[in-house]
Amino acid sequence: ATPMSIMVATGRGAQAGVLIRDAEALERFAAVDVLVLDKTGTLTQGRPSLTDVVALQDHDEDHILALAAALERGSEHPLAEAILGAAESRGVAHLTAADFDAVTGKGVRGVIDGQSTALGNAGLMTDLGIDPAPAQARLDEFQDAGKTAMFLASDGKLIGIVAVSDQIKETAAVAIRALQEAGLKIVMATGDSQRTAEAVGRELGIDEIRANVSPEDKAALIADFQAEGRAVAMAGDGVNDAPALAKADVGIAMGTGADVAVESAGVTLVRGDLRAIVRARRLAHATMRNIR
């Protein structure tokens, strides 16, 4: 591409809310045939709020929320903000946890009032020797509604469930449909559960879903598509998306997300509006056509 046509395209992109780092990012974009999207903060707004608290034993809901909030005080996960915020506004954020530990991709644990306490997914419960099965059906219900649901355990027993919901971005469905019509395969990759991912994926008509995925798995998924000869774009907002953004043929960061995501990506959506991906793709094609 001529420097002039690249400049024109990047200038138009910037006006439309897409920052394109260099000519290579633009050229590679024109060839992309798979788009992998992170869920939380990319397809959804990334501002979850608490929706449900269930007390499984003879505790009350406020106590369950108080324990969950005490554990989340040490976490920087968006889930933590939702749970702590709700506990504060209900006036039950009065407990503190000792020996706090964040288990990446699984949850949080600590000691509250001398009891070992944990909040997180089924994997975390299993790691702690607690069978999640007795409460699994309750959890599944929340997940089938697209919510992120977590088990709370204390002293080796399941005692509660906490669920949060993160709204899907209003413009996500339109953007995905346009990209599918342009021939792209759309894949969701998330650390969240299969059921939650499927509920969100169904609503958006996503072609393929990969759930319970670690940051390394996200990068490996990109590499697998590349090994099949496909050109892959990856869109994400989080620190845990950075390896996949760097691995992709085109990394697309949300300007609303983590700095390290933006630094790992060749393209940034200033306002996190996924429709800007459609625009960037059109610009890439128009620019490439001009040179040929």
- Chain positions contacting ligand ADP, by CB under 6 A: 39-40, 72, 75, 77, 79-80, 105-108, 119-121, 148, 150, 190-192
Between 209 and 288, CB nearer to Mg ion? 209
Distance, in Å, from the CA atom of 189 to the CA atom of 271, rounded to the nearest integer, reads 21
Please report how close the Cβ of residue 241 comes to ligand ADP at its closest, in angstroms: 8
Nearest to 118 by CA among 77, 159, 165: 159
CA gyration radius, the chain: 21
Among 13, 110, 146, 238, binds Mg ion (CB under 5 A): 238
Considering all CA atoms of the chain, what is the largest pairwise distance in Å, rounded to the nearest integer? 72
| Interactions with Mg ion, residue window 34-63 (CB under 5 A) | 38, 40-41
Nearer CB in complex with Mg ion: 266/272: 272
User: In angstroms, what is the minimal distance from the CB of 132 to ligand ADP?
Assistant: 11
* Least Å from the CB of residue 123 to ligand ADP: 8
Q: Does 237 bind Mg ion (CB under 5 A)?
A: yes
Neighbouring CB atoms inside 10 A of 156's CB total 11
Q: Is 144 a known active-site residue?
A: no
User: 33, 38, 58, 249: which is the annotated catalytic residue?
Assistant: 38
Contact segment (CB under 5 A) with Mg ion among 60-68, 117-125, 156-164, 237-245 equals: 237-245
Q: Binds 237, which of Mg ion, ligand ADP, none (CB < 5 to 8 A, cut-off by type)?
A: Mg ion
DSSP-assigned beta bridge partners for residue 269: 18, 254
117 forms beta bridges with 110, 154
Closer residue to Mg ion, CB minimum distance, 64 or 102: 102
Question: Is the C-alpha dihedral spanning 145, 138, 113, 65 positive or negative?
Answer: positive
Residue 121 binds which one of Mg ion, ligand ADP, none, with CB within 5 to 8 A depending on kind? ligand ADP
> Residues touching Mg ion: how many (CB under 5 A)?
5
Name the residue nearer to ligand ADP (CB basis): 18 or 80: 80
Q: Which stretch binds Mg ion (CB under 5 A): 32-40, 111-119, 169-177, 191-199?
A: 32-40
The interaxial angle of helices 172-181 and 194-204, nearest 10 deg, is: 70
The first and second tokens of residue 223, run together, are: 């590499």
Q: How many CB atoms lie within 10 A of CB 278?
A: 22
Residue 79's binding partner among Mg ion, ligand ADP, none (Cβ under 5 to 8 angstroms by kind) is: ligand ADP
On the 0-12 / 13-18 / 19+ scale of CB atoms within 10 A, 289 is: exposed
> What is the distance in angstroms between the CA of the first residue and the CA of the last residue of the chain?
9
Q: Which residues are catalytic?
A: 38
